[in-house]
Each structure stands twice: as C-alpha cells, then as structure tokens.
Amino acid sequence: MMNSGFLRVLCLSALMSVSAISHHASAQQATDEVAPESGSFAPAEAPIEIDLLGDDTKGVKSNNWMIAAAHPLASEAGATVLRNGGNAIDAMVAVQLMLGLVEPQSSGLGGGAFLVYWDAANKRLTSFDGRETAPMAATPTLFQDENGEPLMFYDAVVGGRSVGVPGTPLLLEAVHGRYGSMPWATLFDSAITLADQGFEVSHRLASSIEEDKERLSRFDGTKNYFFREDGTPLQSGDMRINAAYANTLRQISQQGTDAFYRGEIAQEIVSTVQSAPGNPGLLTMDDLAAYRIKERTPICVNYRGFDVCGIGPPSSGALTIGQILGTLRAYDLKGLGPNSPQAWRLIGDASRLAFADRDRYMADSDFVPVPTKGLIADGYLANRGVLMRENKLDEVTPGEPQFDHALYQADDESIELPSTSHFVIRDSLGNVVSMTTTIENGFGSRLMAAGFLLNNELTDFSFRTHVNGYPIANRVEPGKRPRSSMSPTIVMRSNVPYMALGSPGGSRIIGYVAKTLIAHIDWGLSLQSSINMPHLINRFGTYDLEAGTAAENFAPALEELGYNVSVRDLNSGLHGIVIDGDKLIGGADPRREGTIIGE
C-alpha cells in the first residue's frame, strides 16, 4: 500500500501576491516570478485526507446531471437551468454570465474561452475557439519601446494596449444557437437578477482587490466599482450592485451579440480602450464586427487506454499535456507510486521536454505552421521519452517533429498569468461541457466598460518578434490569436466520455491537469483525491513545490537529483466530473471556492 504521508493536503489560507515583473527578456524567469491569483476563500481548515482506496467519499455523486464551477452562485445558476429542463449548453451560458458578475477578476464578457464539447445525440466530440484576436492595426512591435526593447510587463498590461477583441459572448451565442434547447433570453435571468439586487463579495474576490488595489485605482470607472465610497477596497461580505452589467445582459438577451459587437456596448468598449489614460489601445468597431469563433478538431493522445482530448492551437494545452503523457507511456508510474522521487523526475522532465517544444512550435495555426501531428506522433514521443531513461536531464532542447516543410523558428518569450476559471457540466442527456474561460491577468487590463472588465490577452503574445534573426511563432500579428495554456479536457474511454477536467493557472494549467490525470489513471486515486494531491510542477527546470503541503518534503530528494527547487503557492482551480456508467462523481479544488451540484 502507498505511504499516506505524502497523500495529505493542507488547504491554503495565506493570501498570495502578484510579483511585479521588471522586464520581459526571459519567459522562464518572468513566468517563475508570477505568483498565483488569490484563491483561498476561507480560513485554514483541517487537512484533507486523501482516500487511498479510490472511493470518492469526499466527492459529490449523482445519477442524472452534474455541474462544477468556481463560485457557488455560478454553479447554482447552471443547476437552475438543468433543473428546468435545459441541457449542458444552456447551463454553460448561465454559468459564464454569473461568473462574469461574481468572479470578474477571472473571466467575463470582456475575455475569451475554449470549449470542448461532447454531443451525445450525434456521438461527436468537438471543440470551439473563442480566443481573443489582435486588432488589425496591431504590429509585431506593439509591446516594444522606441528602442525596440520589450516594455516593462505591467506597463503593457494596464490600459488599452493589451486589449484584444473579446470572444466569449459570440462563443456562447453561436454554440447555444447550434446545441441549446432553452430560449436564449431565459438563460440571462439569474445573472440579471443578481446584478440588479446585488451579490455578496466573496473572500477570494476581496483578497484579489486588496492585492491589486494600486492598479485597480488607476482608472476611475474601475476604482468606483471595486472600492467603497470612502475609498477603501471592497471587503468580504459587502454587497455590490452592478446595474451597468445588468443593462448589458438585457441588451444581449434581447438583441443577441450584435448589441455587443456592433451596438452601444461596442462603442463603449472602443471608447474605453482608445481613451485609456497613459496607455491607449488600437481596438476599433471594425475589429469587433469582424470577430468570429472557430470550430476546431480536438487533439487526442492515448494514455493507458484512455484518449485524453482537448483543443489545439492557438491553445498549447492539449498538445503539451499529450506530449507529457506520451513520453511517460513507456514508464511504470504505477509501480513507482506517488511517493517516489524517480516518478516525479520522470514527470518533471517529460514536462520540460514538452515545454521546450511548446515554446518553439506552438502558436495560432491560422498564422504559423504548427507540426501538430508530428508533435504527438507515437514514434516522436517514444524517442523523446528515451531521453529520460537514466538520470535528470541536464539540458532540454526542442525536438525535431516531422514537418511537411522546412521551418526555422526561435523560442517564445511570452508569459501567461495565472488567472482564469474552469467549469464542467454533464446533463441528463449525456452531453458534456468542459470550458476554460479567462480575461488573462487577474482583473485583465483593469479597464471596465458596460459593467465588465476588458481582457489583457494580447500580452500572451511574445513581446519580441525575432531572436538571432529567427521569427518567434507567437509574435503579434493583426487578427492573430495569442497562444494559450488553457486546457479544457474530455477523457474518452471506449469512444464515450469518461472524465471532464480543467483548471486555471497560467502555463501551470498544463501541469495541474497532467498531474491530476496521472494520479487518477496511474495511481488509482479518486477524482477528488487526485485534485487534492499536492502540486509538483516543472516547466523550465526549476521544480515548483506547493507551499503548505507534503510536496515540500520532496525538496531534499529533488535537489539531490539536481533540480533547483522553489516552494511557492500553486493556486489551481481544478474542476472535474468522472462518468462511470450511470454514476457521476464530481471534484472541486479546495484551493478556491468551487462548488459541485448534482442531482
């Protein structure tokens, strides 16, 4: 039996801060300096005991439908739709609209999203890309100064320069138009009511406001919303009405997203972006009117008999998770167990190899050729896996996946901040939603328009365009979608959904999801136990160990193997559902305020 010493998680209670980034010269260094978004929503609790037998006693079970989202009010909004006979897509709309009200720092109408969807009636898995796009006036030097050097990071983020064309509203409308069953306008009722009457500010939102109060104070509209009349930040338990958001929702519910992309809401967005004091942006009415979502073929990699599926570029999530799992297929992780430093050596180096390929090759495939098939080809992953056979890898470089043409590129230098939200839904008809949604950094650009925050998604592009004469795949280009690590996942078994899973967390999303899959598939832990398990994440060489958990005990062994170790807060927000025949088992991350509802 496994040693239970490692398999114990302490709920995080310390408030976490976002470190200022002075320069954007190195993706590895810059990303390592970014601390997670605040997530602890309650005082310290007793340790959560992980069930080694795999019986999900701490998960929620049901037999009809289930939803897991990052805020209780969002879960309830979706549950109300399902109780009233709506399907998973109907509930998806209600959940996102409520998240934009009660968890505005993470996602909303001003951002973008990726959706992986199982259509039960047609037995078809598909995915939808609602990622933001760069304005047509954007140039590759958007985030460089007059000397061609990258801007200071928050000088680029805060204000209009970083705002891309939002994709979330059109994603909701287009997918609902294709798969929804309830009238569009009825799905807005819960969010409109709460926006009019007021909602209670959560501990997590209040903590996030406190940590970011200087940047939130920069623009009057944002300050007036997130601060009290006496100038102090909103506190946990305060009531906040958002009449502007309610008005926006009413317009979209009655007029559709034309109100957002072409009407007075669009005009307010453009005016806010272009007139942002000190850092105006390029977004125009034409950019908004031209936006389209895209349906994309899912990326799937087989792992221990399961097909782990997600969305492809511009997301790097499914490809990178697939590469991590694919390089590990030859190794007996089950035999090693979760307490083995060698198991974590293999997982860490598999991740490092995958991230090297990610930074070299992955970007918006509508603009840059991406060797998608080559990156997850069985032979290529087997050869990459051989590199990990002996000891910790001293040096990790991108591989040479098969291209159908010659291409030379430089490694990316973008960073991706760990805000975002993920939710999962399975309805009584068998439809499954796995959706990750974001405005990028916590509170995005810090600009508000029409009651919602605008994204800073363009800072997910590389600030540099070339290195040593070679182009960077993820450079800024007009109309292009920035690379993302969002990893909405549906795991298939025998051609039907077995699990839906995902997380926020910037580029660490990839490690959070991969760890949870390995814990469940290789080590036999229940879904909730797999989510609870302490995080050990390695992207670029440094091993991040989750502070306040038994992961810290691995520091000496990992250092002896040759890794630099960093003990830090790792604030995931994993939500998942396991579908075991007629039984649904939900899991929600104790590191945030997520809630599972099932009936």
pLDDT in tens, 79-135: 999 999 999 999 999 999 999 999 999 999 999 999 999 999 999 999 999 999 999
Q: To 10 degrees, what angle do helices 189-197 and 88-102 make?
A: 20
Question: In this prediction, what percent of the chain has a pLDDT beyond 90?
Answer: 82
What does pLDDT average to over the chain? 89
Read off the pLDDT band of 471 (50, 70, 90). Answer: confident
What local confidence, expressed as pLDDT, does residue 468 receive? Answer: 74
Is residue 27 within 8 Å of 359, Cβ to Cβ?
Answer: yes
pLDDT in tens, 161-187: 999 999 999 999 999 999 999 999 999
> Which of the 8 DSSP states describes residue 540?
S
What local confidence, expressed as pLDDT, does residue 366 receive? Answer: 95
pLDDT in tens, 334-349: 999 999 999 999 999 9
Read off the pLDDT band of 415 (50, 70, 90). Answer: low
Assigned token pair, 431 = 């439809």
How confident is the model over 317-326, as a mean pLDDT? 98
Q: Above 60 in pLDDT, residue 412?
A: no
Q: Above 70 in pLDDT, residue 408?
A: no
Q: Above 90 in pLDDT, residue 410?
A: no
**How many other β-carbons are positioned within 10 Å of the β-carbon of residue 566?**
13
Q: Which region among 198-202, 464-468, 494-498, 504-508 has the lowest average model confidence (pLDDT)?
A: 464-468
Is residue 588 within 8 Å of 71, Cβ to Cβ?
Answer: no
Instruction: Tokens 């800073």: give the residue.
Output: 456
Residues ≥6 apart with Cβ < 8 Å to 183: none
What local confidence, expressed as pLDDT, does residue 171 receive? Answer: 98
What local confidence, expressed as pLDDT, does residue 22 receive? Answer: 28
Is residue 506 within 8 Å of 458, Cβ to Cβ?
Answer: no
Q: Above 60 in pLDDT, residue 288?
A: yes
d(CA 282, CA 160): 7
How confident is the model over 240-267, as a mean pLDDT? 98
Assigned token pair, 117 = 């969807």
What the chain holds in terms of domains, given with CATH numbers, is 8-295+414-598 (3.60.20.40)
Instruction: Tokens 């305060």: give the residue.
Output: 238
Read off the pLDDT band of 578 (50, 70, 90). Answer: very high
Q: Which region among 20-29, 184-193, 513-522 has the lowest average model confidence (pLDDT)?
A: 20-29
DSSP structure string for 289-300? HH---EEEPPEE
How confident is the model over 68-84, as a mean pLDDT? 98
What local confidence, expressed as pLDDT, does residue 560 receive? Answer: 97
What local confidence, expressed as pLDDT, does residue 10 receive? Answer: 31
How confident is the model over 352-358, as a mean pLDDT? 97
> Which of the 8 DSSP states describes residue 186?
G
More confident residue, 328 or 404: 328
Q: Above 80 in pLDDT, residue 533?
A: yes
What local confidence, expressed as pLDDT, does residue 497 receive? Answer: 98
Read off the pLDDT band of 546 (50, 70, 90). Answer: very high
What local confidence, expressed as pLDDT, does residue 148 receive? Answer: 87
With H, G, I as helix, E, B as strand and everything else as coil, classify residue 263: coil
**Cα Rg of the chain (Å, integer):** 22
Q: Which region among 251-260, 469-478, 547-556 has the lowest average model confidence (pLDDT)?
A: 469-478
pLDDT in tens, 218-239: 999 999 999 999 999 999 999 9
Q: Above 60 in pLDDT, residue 42?
A: no
Residues ≥6 apart with Cβ < 8 Å to 549: 8, 9, 10, 534, 535
**How many other β-carbons are positioned within 10 Å of the β-carbon of residue 280?**
15
Helices of type H across 387-472: none
pLDDT in tens, 301-315: 999 999 999 999 999
CA proximity to 451, closest of 69, 209, 108, 189: 108
Read off the pLDDT band of 416 (50, 70, 90). Answer: low
Active site members: 420
